[in-house]
Amino acid sequence: MKIHAILWLCMLMHGLCYTQIITVKDRETNQPLELATLLSETPRAFETTNAQGQADISAFRGSERIDIRLLGYETATTTYAGLEQAGFVIALAHAGLSLDQVVISATRWNQPKREIPAKITSISARDVALQNPQTAADLLGNSGEVFIQKSQQGGGSPMIRGFSTNRVLLTVDGIRMNTAIFRSGNLQNVISLDPYAVENTEVFFGPGSVIYGSDAIGGVMNFQTLTPQFTLTDKPLVSGKAAARYASANRERTGHFDLNAGWKKWALVTSFSHNDFGDLRMGANGPDEYLRPTYVQRQNDTDVVIANEDPLVQRPTAYSQINMMQKLRYKPNEKWDFNYGFHYSTTTDYSRYDRLVRYRNGRPRSAEWYYGPQKWLMNNLSIAHNGPNNLYDQATLRLAYQFFEESRIDRDLNDTERRHRLEEVRAYSANLDFFKTLGMKQKLFYGLEVVYNDVNSFGTDEDISTGIVVPGPARYPRAGWASYAACATYQYNISNKFLLQAGARFPIYQGGYQQRRADGQPGLRVRSHGKLVA
């Protein structure tokens, strides 16, 4: 009997020593709160609650200050001992306005928003569910903080304080989406993201070049996709959602589902969406020049201008899109966290509507003007280590490979020459980021970045009357572009009201493009330069 008592006591102590699970609930409904963040500076620890409102806070043991935050709720501050006395259950109260959530876009690390000397707007999954945007461009536009330029359905170019395209940065799970062919003209790459698969979006206003590079001079839009969640009990954690939507304005038909399956050390998320957009119908009130009285069809080898049955319908603007995501997470212990993500998006052809409504001598200038399928594929691996030492408290390695394909096809009215321009970019990136606490009031964020872009651009001209295809001019040179950078940000909390932050970045850019040598064979020309940004 005595032996059984000792064994029972040992098992109880083992559970207390190695696993402590907290449950975060809504004070009014007593329902569990998902994606609530728990942050401690000493010891440095960060956790997020799962679909059951639970999180393992073993790493917080002994903490004298634990901040528990969730957008739309008042921040709760407590200690590990206080949680222990409360039975590791805490309830959050609703707040009309929350300004103290955790953000990551400023330094790539989780930190309170009040420590960021810049404006950051967060768009939560709850906001997305309420606004129900059709695309990721609409997700940003519905925030009221980002202007979205659209020339057609399938468009959406974000603008922040007058900056756009190659002066604002898109990141997905900490991986840069911008490539060497991001130009000053409007781009619609943001629509490759699935708003249903986005867990949180942060818009960083102001220059983020120290951390991200020169293409973040106007701001950063960081999309965090769904994170696989572990179970904290003996039963697997299975959760998910499904949605279907129909919109009359463009006869949209959308279907989506995602599924999370979590075990103690392994977890995965699967997400799939299909969008089918019909021709967009404009509002009935407006200038007559906005109407679409005619459109062009090819009939019997001749371009024919046909009267539009309903001038309010923007014909043709229809297209379809597919988004897929698969993420796998492995966390063997409190110190290591491995995340792998696969993302794929593709569209059908979609018309450049603003080019189709241009007229010359009372007739349409273009018979065809459309984009080919926009494709985006990303494989990324993230390895995080949480183990204080002389060099860092936390370190994260991010490796990524991305493939982009886009094209444009146009032909003038009654012209037999169809021009086709195709671009393919293979983007490789590696980021190694470190965080170090220097005493009670000082923090250091530093890291290294390597980016390489392989750009292939092709041009062909087709005679649609004979079917003969000949090479044509390409939009971009076939080239390799590389960037190497080291950066550091120092932060000193002078008091609760004053914070000092300083940073520097040293990048080296290297680009090479193909050209013809004197003997007619292809050659390679390389240029490089570096500069200090502070």
Is residue 520 over pLDDT 60?
A: no
Cβ atoms of 373 and 423 closer than 8 Å? no
Q: Residue 480: how many CB atoms within 10 A of its CB?
A: 17
Is residue 305 over pLDDT 80?
A: yes
- Portion of the chain with pLDDT greater than 90, in percent: 62
Query: What is the mean predicted confidence (pLDDT) over 505-517?
Result: 73
Higher pLDDT, 16 or 187: 187
- Portion of the chain with pLDDT greater than 70, in percent: 91
Write the DSSP string, 341-400. EEEEEEE--EE-HHHHT-EETTEESEEEEEE---EEEEEEEEEEEE---SS-SEEEEEEE
Asked whether the bond before 133 is cis by omega within 30 degrees of 0, the reply is: no
Cβ atoms of 489 and 501 closer than 8 Å? yes
CA dist 70 → 66, 87, 107 (Å):
13, 20, 20
> To 10 degrees, the CA torsion angle through 57, 63, 69, 74?
130
Residue with tokens 């639970």: 54
Label residue 15 by pLDDT band (50, 70, 90): very low
* Poorest-pLDDT segment among 15-24, 106-115, 172-181, 382-391: 15-24
Label residue 69 by pLDDT band (50, 70, 90): confident
Residue 10 pLDDT = 47
Residue 410 pLDDT = 96
Residue 99 pLDDT = 53
Instruction: Please give the mean pLDDT across all residues of the chain.
Output: 88
How far is residue 44 CA from its own chain's centroid?
26
Select from 113, 417, 128 the least CA-distant residue to 273: 128
Residue 362 pLDDT = 87
Is residue 517 over pLDDT 80?
A: no
449 exposed, middle or buried (CB, 10 Å; 0-12, 13-18, 19+)?
A: buried
Cβ atoms of 201 and 369 closer than 8 Å? no
Which domains, and CATH codes, for the chain?
1-97 (2.60.40.1120), 101-530 (no CATH)
b/e code 396-409 from CB counts within 10 Å (16+ = b): bebbbebebbbbbb
> How is the chain split among helix, strand and coil, in percent rounded to 5?
10, 50, 35
Cβ atoms of 22 and 67 closer than 8 Å? no
Cβ atoms of 493 and 441 closer than 8 Å? yes
Residue 96 pLDDT = 60
Query: What is the mean predicted confidence (pLDDT) over 125-152?
Result: 91
Residue 18 pLDDT = 52
Residue 522 pLDDT = 46
Query: What is the mean predicted confidence (pLDDT) over 321-335?
Result: 96
Select from 413, 415, 428, 405 the least CA-distant residue to 361: 413
Q: For 296, phi and psi rounded to 5 degrees?
A: -110, 135
Strand partners, 351: 370
* Poorest-pLDDT segment among 93-107, 229-243, 497-511: 93-107
How confident is the model over 222-269, as pLDDT tens digits? 999 999 999 988 899 999 999 999 999 999 999 999 999 999 999 999
